[in-house]
């Protein structure tokens, strides 16, 4: 009788541990989760800059999904120009001089949809720009052409969520020139494969004097910039890492 009683108490005790463990799993809060393809429609726009400086602890898997264009509308957050702060260089010259050939060759071997020359022609259109350098500090962007820099102050305009033909999506962050300044674009759009406040490691940029609605339709030319302190070989390594 005592053995049976002890056995019953033990079973009850173990069952309680199991149930408690399950309940803890259910109640554990989940952290907030946060390519160059053609967008087919614009789904959302936001203009608020509140609460954009908090830290994010998005897990690696989620970040990979976001980089690939897989995310929900309510995961997208506003960002400030400081996310793109730095001294940046165009990758276009490295494409022309052959430094990025190893990157293109990897695409040939992986995707098997284009030859090396076909990829090179595709990216010549995509990367083409006469702005060899961009320096971003505080609210100011300085555009360098033929070694001469012209600066303008920019304010946040909001973001647009774009749906691509592939089914994946991307976000462009929009900025407007403050006042009238000759030699700098009135409107700028950033795309860096992120959807929440974070420091960019590279970006694609769309800029001009036409309205944002027209710039959003630019699908073929996306000048791309990496930090100016990187060599062409280091940029190729960064590209291959993705």
- Do residues 97 and 127 touch, judged by C-beta distance below 8 A? no
242 residues of the chain, pLDDT tens digit each: 444 444 443 333 333 433 333 332 222 222 222 234 333 333 334 333 333 333 445 567 777 888 888 899 999 999 999 999 999 999 999 999 999 999 999 999 999 999 999 999 999 999 999 999 999 999 999 999 999 999 999 999 999 999 988 788 999 999 999 999 999 999 999 999 999 999 999 999 999 999 999 999 998 999 999 999 999 999 999 999 87
- Does residue 208 belong to any structural domain of this protein? yes
- Does residue 1 fall inside a structural domain? no
Domain containing 52 — which CATH number?
A: 2.40.128.20
Domain contains 72: yes
> For residue 22, is it within any domain?
no
CA 150, CA 181: separation in Å to the nearest integer?
Answer: 9
Among candidate residues 131, 154, 126, 129, the one with its CA nearest the CA of residue 144: 131
From CA 36, how far away is CA 91, in angstroms rounded? 15
Instruction: State how far the Cα of 79 lies from the Cα of 197, in Å rounded to an integer.
Output: 5
173 contacts: CB under 8 Å, gap ≥ 6: 79, 83, 156, 158, 159, 189, 190, 191
pLDDT for the residue numbered 130: 97
120 falls within a domain: yes
Closest alpha carbon to 79 in 111, 46, 113, 112: 46
Number of domains in the chain: 1
Q: Which neighbouring-strand residues pair with 194?
A: none
β-pair partners for 41? 163
What is the DSSP secondary-structure string of 140-202? EEEEEETTEEEEEEEEEEEEEEEEETTS-EEEEEEEEE-S--TTS-SEEEEE-S--SS---SE
User: What per-residue confidence (pLDDT) applies to 59?
Assistant: 65
Return the HEC string of 71-118. CCHHHCCCCCHHHHCEEEEECHHHHHCCCCHHHHHHHHHHHCCCCHHH
- What pLDDT does residue 221 have? 97
Q: Residue 167 has what pLDDT?
A: 81
**132 inside domain:** yes
Strand 140-145 relative to strand 148-164, pairing: antiparallel
Q: What is the pLDDT of residue 75?
A: 95
What pLDDT was estimated at residue 86? 98
The verdict on residue 102 lying in a domain is yes
> Domain for residue 5, yes or no?
no
Q: Which domain holds residue 189?
A: 40-241
């Amino acid at each position: 009788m005592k053995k049976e009683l002890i056995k019953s108490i033990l079973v009850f005790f173990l069952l309680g541990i199991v149930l408690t463990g399950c309940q803890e799993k259910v109640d554990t809060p989940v952290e907030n989760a946060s390519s160059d393809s053609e967008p087919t429609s614009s789904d959302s726009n936001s203009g608020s800059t509140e609460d954009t400086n908090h830290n994010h602890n998005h897990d690696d898997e989620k970040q990979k999904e976001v980089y690939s264009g897989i995310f929900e509308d309510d995961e997208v957050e506003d960002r400030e120009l400081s996310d793109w702060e730095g001294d940046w260089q165009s990758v276009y010259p490295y494409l022309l001089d052959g430094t990025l050939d190893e990157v293109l060759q990897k695409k040939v071997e992986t995707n098997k949809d284009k030859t090396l020359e076909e990829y090179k022609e595709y990216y010549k259109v995509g990367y083409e720009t006469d702005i060899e350098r961009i320096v971003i500090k505080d609210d100011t962007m300085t555009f360098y052409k033929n070694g001469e820099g012209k600066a303008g102050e920019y304010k946040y305009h909001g973001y647009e969520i774009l749906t691509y033909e592939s089914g994946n999506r991307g976000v462009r962050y929009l900025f407007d020139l403050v006042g009238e300044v000759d030699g700098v674009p009135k409107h700028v759009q950033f795309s860096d494969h992120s959807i929440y406040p974070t420091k960019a490691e590279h970006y694609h940029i769309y800029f001009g004097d036409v309205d944002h609605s027209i710039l959003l339709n630019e699908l073929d030319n996306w000048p791309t910039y990496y930090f100016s302190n990187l060599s062409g070989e280091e940029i190729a390594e960064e590209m291959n890492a993705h």
